[in-house]
Amino acid sequence: MDVKSTRLRNQVNREIYKRALETDYRYYDSAEFYADFTWAAQNLSSQIESARSIIENTVQNAAQFVAMATYIAVVGPWMLLVAFTSVLAGAYVNMKTNAHWIERFEEQLESDRRLRYFQRMFYTVEPAADLKSTRLRDFFLKGYDDAAEENAGVVLKFAFRLAKCQVLSVLLQNITFFVSVALIVKSVVSGDMANVAKYSALLTATTMLRNGLSNVMYQITSLQRVTKYMDRVRKFFDIKSEIETKHGVGLCPENKPLGIELRNVRFSYSQSEDEEKKYVIDGLSMKIEPGEKIAIVGENGAGKTTLMKLLLRLYDVNEGDIRIDGRSIKEYDVRKLRDAVGIAFQDSSVYSITVAENLRAYRDADDEKLSEILRKVGLSRLLEEEGGLSATMTHEFDDKGVVLSGGEMQKFALARLLTGSFGLLLLDEPTAALDPFAEYELNKLVLDRTRPETTIVIAHRLSTIRDADRIYLVEEGRILECGIHDELMRLGGKYAEMFKKQAEKYALETA
């Protein structure tokens, strides 16, 4: 039974994770989605197991009930009425108890989520340095205390109601016992020993009948609770996705550099129809020919990273259109489209699997090629000092696991792109954590003119994109300036101002 339960739990959880992967990325911006997702992940398997157990117990108790009811119907049929009355009344009380439990559960959801958040912050590695070295420690502890107090307050609010229901349930379920004992005592006092034996047998039978019927009713009311809880899980599985469902249908990008065109694109993260939309991308148009190397620059919040997410079709635009090789992005099979795109973000991650598996995130490659790539990007120490391609990354499961610095993490993200060819490369500040010399060498690798891919680079360090075929300066979701480096410098606009300030700063730092 333990093996079956374990396999069932693991299989159910796998289906939840698979469903989450098939849910549109925009839902991850929703607090309600996270609440439903975490509830499903934490409780669905246990609720299914409860339902299975309820069905089994109901069958067993029903058999006991039928046997005892048959005996009592022959010996003392009036006791059936007493037993049914007390059990049905008890079942009603149990239903009220379930209603209180469910109401308590719903009121605890928000504080439970906050508690889990703070718990996660305390036992995960990433925030540990901040918690130990800043006042965040005090804020997090206070946040935890406030959530815990709110959680306990909800428990206290329902404590009396639940206790009252429990007392009533016990009293109602034992009415038949009290009646039978009273009849036995009466028979003993009156000297009617024949009835003593009769009522003693009835007491045993009605106790078993009551237990059987009570258990059946308890299982039914428990099933009511499970059904109510499953309604929340159903909300998660009923989420309607429009993008991820396009897997297996639509066009497949050709195995060549992709042409990209944005036609008057507008996009807002707001999902509410009632809320006034703040457009992160607001009327943006550009055309990138296959194989071009273009750069997008601008201040933080200008919409650069959002543009990358739109090109990956993690979101759909509100207005306008994105076209790939002359066809709307919505006409493509979403997974095949993403498979044609190589990505290196500033905050790319590595995972607790082997070095080789991390490197093969986009394309398969043999060990010899992977080793060559690591040497090219300046990570030969992984081969010489850290156990090679089979070493596990991070300390999540292995104290001797490979841990990368911020700069090494960016080198590793770029190394993934060297495992094969793509139709489009999206590089979002991919070398921001590197020193200028390492950055120069890596840019030569990724932006090499011999590489055919269409390439879009987001950059803050403007000296790294001087040789781009075209540079777009984006501000408030619109293109403010466009041209090659020399043209923009002659224009004397914002790009020229930003470039000069960076050059002055670099001169002071190196002086």
Average pLDDT on 175-184 reads 62
Closest CA to 330 of 343, 317, 341, 348: 317
- Helices 78-123 and 31-75 meet at what angle, rounded to 10? 160
- Assess if residue 199 is contained within a domain: yes
Residue 189 and residue 221 share a domain: yes
Number of H helices, E strands in the chain: 16, 10
Q: How many CB atoms lie within 10 A of CB 66?
A: 11
Between 247 and 494, where is the model more confident?
494
Domain count, the chain: 2
Tokens, residue 410: 């960016």
Q: Is the pLDDT of residue 200 over 70?
A: no
Best mean pLDDT range from 57-66, 105-114, 277-286, 425-434 = 277-286
Q: Is the sign of the CA dihedral 470, 475, 481, 486 positive or negative? A: negative
Residue 392 carries which DSSP code?
A: B
Tokens, residue 82: 């007493």
Residue 493 and residue 416 share a domain: yes
CA angle 367, 351, 375 (to 5 degrees): 35
Average pLDDT on 57-73 reads 66
- Assess if residue 487 is contained within a domain: yes
Q: How far apart are CA 197 and CA 2, in angstroms?
A: 44
pLDDT band at 96 (very low <50, low <70, confident <90, very high): confident
Which residues 6+ apart lie within 8 Å of 323 measured at CB? 260, 261, 262, 263, 329
Q: How far apart are CA 431 and CA 415, in angstroms?
A: 12
Q: Is the pLDDT of residue 507 over 70?
A: no
Q: How many CB atoms lie within 10 A of CB 275?
A: 9
In contact, 462 and 297? CB cutoff 8 Å = yes
Residue 295 and residue 228 share a domain: no
Average pLDDT on 52-68 reads 66
Question: What is the model's pTM?
Answer: 0.74
Residue 283 and residue 177 share a domain: no
Residue 161 and residue 62 share a domain: yes
Average pLDDT on 130-142 reads 80
Query: Residue 20 belongs to what H/E stretch?
Result: helix 2-21
Name the least confident of 258-262, 402-406, 487-491. Answer: 402-406
Residue 340 and residue 218 share a domain: no
Residue 175 and residue 88 share a domain: yes
- Assess if residue 303 is contained within a domain: yes
Adjacency order of strands within the sheet including 279-288: 279-288, 260-268, 319-324, 327-328
What CATH number does the domain containing 164 carry?
A: 1.20.1560.10
- Assess if residue 197 is contained within a domain: yes
- Assess if residue 250 is contained within a domain: no
Q: Is 375 exposed, middle or buried (0-12, 13-18, 19+ CB in 10 A)?
A: middle
Name the least confident of 379-388, 433-442, 479-488. Answer: 433-442
Closest CA to 458 of 304, 302, 315: 304
Q: Is the pLDDT of residue 493 over 60?
A: yes
pLDDT band at 83 (very low <50, low <70, confident <90, very high): low
Residue 423 and residue 285 share a domain: yes
Q: How far apart are CA 371 and CA 365, in angstroms?
A: 10
Q: Is the pLDDT of residue 132 over 60?
A: yes
pLDDT digits (tens, 9 = 90+) for 1-27: 467 767 767 777 788 888 888 888 888
Sort strands 293-297 and 470-475 into parallel, antiparallel or unpaired.
Answer: parallel
Q: How much is the pLDDT for 511?
A: 47
Q: Is the pLDDT of residue 98 over 50?
A: yes
Q: How much is the pLDDT for 78?
A: 62
Q: How much is the pLDDT for 291?
A: 92
Best mean pLDDT range from 23-37, 231-245, 398-412, 497-511 = 398-412
**Residue 327 β-bridge partners:** 324
Best mean pLDDT range from 9-13, 127-131, 208-212, 453-457 = 453-457
pLDDT digits (tens, 9 = 90+) for 292-307: 999 999 888 778 888 9
Q: Is 50 exposed, middle or buried (0-12, 13-18, 19+ CB in 10 A)?
A: middle
Q: Which domain holds residue 283?
A: 260-269+278-350+404-510
Q: How much is the pLDDT for 369?
A: 94
Which residues 6+ apart lie within 8 Å of 311 measured at CB? 260, 322, 329, 341, 424, 426, 456
Q: Is the pLDDT of residue 187 over 90?
A: no
Closest CA to 239 of 271, 270, 212: 271
Q: Is the pLDDT of residue 483 over 70?
A: yes
Q: How far apart are CA 224 and CA 145, in angstroms?
A: 33
* Mean pLDDT, the chain, whole residue set: 79
Between 341 and 166, where is the model more confident?
341
Q: How much is the pLDDT for 302?
A: 77
Phi, psi of 278 (to 5 degrees): -105, 110
**Residue 72 β-bridge partners:** none
Residue 265 and residue 220 share a domain: no
Closest CA to 46 of 221, 239, 230: 230
- Assess if residue 165 is contained within a domain: yes
Q: Is 242 exposed, middle or buried (0-12, 13-18, 19+ CB in 10 A)?
A: exposed
Q: How much is the pLDDT for 163?
A: 82
pLDDT digits (tens, 9 = 90+) for 313-345: 999 999 999 999 999 999 999 999 999 999 888
Q: How far apart are CA 420 and CA 417, in angstroms?
A: 7
- Assess if residue 377 is contained within a domain: no
Measured between alpha carbons, how far is residue 164 from residues 37, 103, 154, 294, 489 in Å? 34, 16, 17, 71, 79
- Helices 2-21 and 31-75 meet at what angle, rounded to 10? 150
Q: End-to-end distance of the chain based on CA atoms, in angstroms?
A: 73
pLDDT > 90: percent of the chain: 22
Q: How much is the pLDDT for 71?
A: 62
Average pLDDT on 456-475 reads 86
Name the least confident of 6-20, 36-50, 312-326, 357-371. Answer: 36-50
Q: What is the DSSP string of 112-140?
A: HHHHHHHHHHHHSSTTHHHHHHSTHHHHH
Average pLDDT on 30-55 reads 69
pLDDT band at 164 (very low <50, low <70, confident <90, very high): confident
pLDDT > 70: percent of the chain: 72
Identify the three-state secondary structure at position 452.
Answer: coil
Name the least confident of 58-67, 111-120, 258-267, 372-381. Answer: 58-67
Average pLDDT on 181-210 reads 62
Between 109 and 458, where is the model more confident?
458
Residue 320 and residue 233 share a domain: no
Residue 216 and residue 309 share a domain: no
Residue 71 and residue 181 share a domain: yes
- Assess if residue 388 is contained within a domain: no
What CATH number does the domain containing 424 carry?
A: 3.40.50.300
Name the least confident of 79-83, 227-231, 255-259, 482-486. Answer: 79-83
Identify the three-state secondary structure at position 470.
Answer: strand
